Structures are given as C-alpha cells and as structure tokens.
Amino acid sequence: MTSGNVVLITGATAGIGRVTALRLARAGHRVFATGRRRDALASLEKEAAGTGLEAFPLDVTDAESIARAVAEVNRRTEGYGLDVLVNNAGYGELGPVETIDEARVRKQYDTNVFGLLAVTKAFVGAMRERGAGRIINVSSVGGRVTFPLMGVYTSTKHAVEALSDALRIELRPFGVRVSVIQPGAIATEFSATALDTVSGLEGSPYAPLASRVDEIEGHFSAIEVGPEVIAAAIERAATSRRPRARYVAPFSAKLVLLLTAILPTSLLDWVYGRLTGLRRHALRPSPSEGALGAS
C-alpha cells in the first residue's frame, strides 16, 4: 500500500476535486478519486500513472452507488477504510430565487447537502470506531455570505456549514476531525456552468439581467485564481497535526468576508444591486411609462 493517508474525494472529475486528487496522490497518499463521468476518471488515472491514485464511479445522490463505493473501499483497503474523506461534489445554478425551477432547487440540495451527508454517514462509522479520521467539506465563501442571484446555491452551502459545525463537535471525542474549505472565486468549470444559467431569464421580470451576464462574469474573472490554491488548503486540512475548523482562500475571499462583517447591510445591498443590475429603474417601468401603457 502507498504510504500516507487513504483518501477518498468526491467530484474528482474536474476543477478542485481533480487538482486535489493529483496533488495528494503525488504527495504519496493513496487516493480514491470518484465521480460520475467515467471518461474523466479514466483520463485522471492515466495522468496520475505511477502514483497511488485509483478511480471508480460514485454518484453522491444514489444510495446504491454510495454503498458500492463503501464496499469497494473496504475491498481495496482490506477492511481498513478511509483516513480522510473530502466531500467536494457540488454545483450551482445562478438566478433569482423566484425564477429557479423547484426541481432544480431540489437537485442542488440533493447533491450539495443530502449527497454530502449520505456519503459522510456511510464512511464516518469506521473512522469513529478506529478513533481517528478527517472529514473535509468543501463549502464556499457563499456559506457565510449570501449573494443576489446565488440564493439557492448559497443556501446549500449555509447548510453545509451548519452540518459541519455540528459534526465537528459531535465527532471530536471520537478522534475524528472536521474541517470546512471556503473557496472564493476559482477558475474552474463550476463558474462557467453557473453563469450560463443566468441567461435563462427571458419572459420573467428579471429579463434585463440577461444582458449583464458578461459583465457579471467579468467581475468574477477579475479575482479568480486557479484551483491549486484550494487543493493546497485541502492538503493542509488533511495533514496538519491540528487542522483548523475553516480554511478560506484565496485572499480575495478573506477580504469579502471582512468587508461583509464591517460594512452596513444597507451599503452592501446597494453595492450588490449595482454589480448585478438589481435596481428599481432597471427592472421596473417608470410611473409615467406605466400610465402611458394603461391609457
């Protein structure tokens, strides 16, 4: 067996998960990289040839898939299980809370919250019985700050924060440590996918926002950094003798949290409105226009 920890990472087919899997495997850990896209997993295994990385499918929203993953880990580790579980699988759709279809809301919660919880419950028992282990939940700066057009997504990350806080206290007596990673703007497929959903506003009261997608994307792009920054934070949480409860990265994310804490809510609301175009004159006709239309 490869020296180091036995680590399982969900959502390892792209972005933060993929970069983290490669980083940990090259550092000498035995890494089980999981996800739904078999072609991406095969590509990852090929890139990591010669390391302790092994890949197999895992859909965090499927109970049978989770059970198969547990059995596979136990088989490959001869019943030992995991030292570190990295709950990274997640995605987001942007848009006003009012316009996001209920099925899409539930789908985000199924992956970001219920899937994370199900995978954690499936693997934590062995850690607790052994008296050692790490659970690392990839949240978001949006788990502490709510942004307009990201209400549903950030609500899932607020839930992850609450679950992580409870788990950290509940599992500490059993030697299991829980940490949260709070990424800010990261240059991955996640950002592009999320921003694409903003354009689906035609016919709604928020239709004027569709023309601002490129501008909103520009705001994010200006402060984005590569996923390597987050992979480094995950490695610290996995290997530090005394892991912190929260790791915030990059620096811009720390700045956002600081400003949110010290600025008046009314001022923050104004800033968010300016950045997104969520302003009265931009979304509603003026009284004179309404009167002309009624005559």
Token digits for 67? 């059970």
Q: Residues 153, 206, 247, 272: which is the catalytic one? A: 153
Q: Determine whether 91 is an active site residue.
A: no
Query: What span, in angstroms and rounded, lies between the C-alpha atoms of 32 and 35?
Result: 10
If you search the block for the tokens 């709070």, which residue do you land on? 182
| 3-state SS record for 227-245 | CHHHHHHHHHHHHCCCCCC
Could you tell me how many helices (H) and strands (E) the chain has, helices first?
13, 7
Q: Which helix (H) or strand (E) holds 50?
A: none
Distance (Å, rounded) from C-alpha 102 to C-alpha 251? 35
User: CB neighbours (10 Å) of residue 180?
Assistant: 27
**Interatomic CA distance for residues 42 and 39, integer angstroms:** 5
Cα-based distances in Å from 25 to 20, 33, 47, 49, 135: 8, 10, 11, 10, 18
Q: Which residues contact 295 (CB under 8 A, 6 or more apart)?
A: none
Separation CA 50–CA 181 (nearest Å): 28
Positions marked catalytic: 153
